[in-house]
Structure 1
């Protein structure tokens, strides 16, 4: 039962570590994974610290969930589980586990094409093989699975809101990314869109 409690936290550490290792590996190969093109909109200067702070609170609450600290940044009514069904916790664990599988398969299938941001001069190849043949966005889908699984595992107001915000923000980011991909990969991406679903 103790492992069940720490599983979401350990899973997040696994997700973060594998991504960092992959980025370091690609940089050693001389591949730049982040975008350097264009200026960021001014409103993002304000949003970055807000999202950063929200992420730190989320991480603290995730650690609190795992290790049962006696403190919390948030009031108890926001962090207390609304439902206490064991089957819901198991459903959350299964969904988090699926997110780990998708995550690993995605990083492997990306090979040298992992990129963050929209960079006209640093695109990488269009990946349509492996898990990308089942979903156009397995990277984001794995994140959606993780946050949804966590909300099922511990259905507090805080984790439910975080899951909802994640799902919405990722969806809008995907729509923006699709415009970029259609522009730069043209007909190849349009054909890929026709035979492969956005999520499934």
Structure 2
């Protein structure tokens, strides 16, 4: 059962981003700015698809990649709780973001600085949500490949956050600096 929750969580994440992108496109907002400032970002989608395959292959008994490091039922259920928590935080973040939601850095049309809702508890609630889900996926499927993804994912999230923070200081100046003094980077 936990495996189905793992697949469902990733699927819902993807669907929510697509739906939000379509909604914002109606307002003339181009959501995907991914890879515009850093061309290396384009190596991420193939690796994300591989992670999706690793999770799906475990649930639907396709040929598996990697080996399981350990398995404890209670740890797997903790992973489920993290997946649900990450999904709820992601939805709350999307709602809080409003029309400012972007995938990547948008210095040309950034939208307004959001400091309320999910952004009042974390400057990066979407990355925090992704991190929670990735950790949850690992606890559900403690596979060495998923562990590598977890480590690289946290590193990539932090790298992207640092790039975004530099950009946000340029865009919003003192307002963003003040916000940083009151709200943590993650949670």
TM-score category of the 2 structures, normalised to the smaller one: over 0.9
Distance in 1 (CA, whole Å) between partners of 2:31 and 2:10 is 21
- Higher relative CO (CA 8 A, sep ≥ 6), structure 1 or 2? 2
TM-score relative to the length of structure 1: 0.87
Which residues in structure 2 correspond to 1:44-123 (within 5 Å)? 44=40, 48=42, 50-69=43-62, 71-72=63-64, 74=65, 78=66, 80-123=67-110
Q: What does residue 183 of structure 1 align with?
A: 170
- Show structure 1 runs of 4+ deviating over 4 A: 36-41
How many residues are matched?
Answer: 187
- Whose radius of gyration is greater, 1 or 2? 1
1:21 aligns with 2:19: yes
Distance in 2 (CA, whole Å) between partners of 1:39 and 1:176 is 10
Q: What does residue 159 of structure 1 align with?
A: 146
TM-score relative to the length of structure 2: 0.93
Distance in 2 (CA, whole Å) between partners of 1:197 and 1:167 is 16
5+ long unaligned stretches in structure 1: none
Secondary structure, counterpart of 1:112 in structure 2: helix
Q: CA RMSD in A?
A: 1.9
Q: What does residue 9 of structure 1 align with?
A: 7
5+ long unaligned stretches in structure 2: none
Secondary structure, counterpart of 1:171 in structure 2: helix
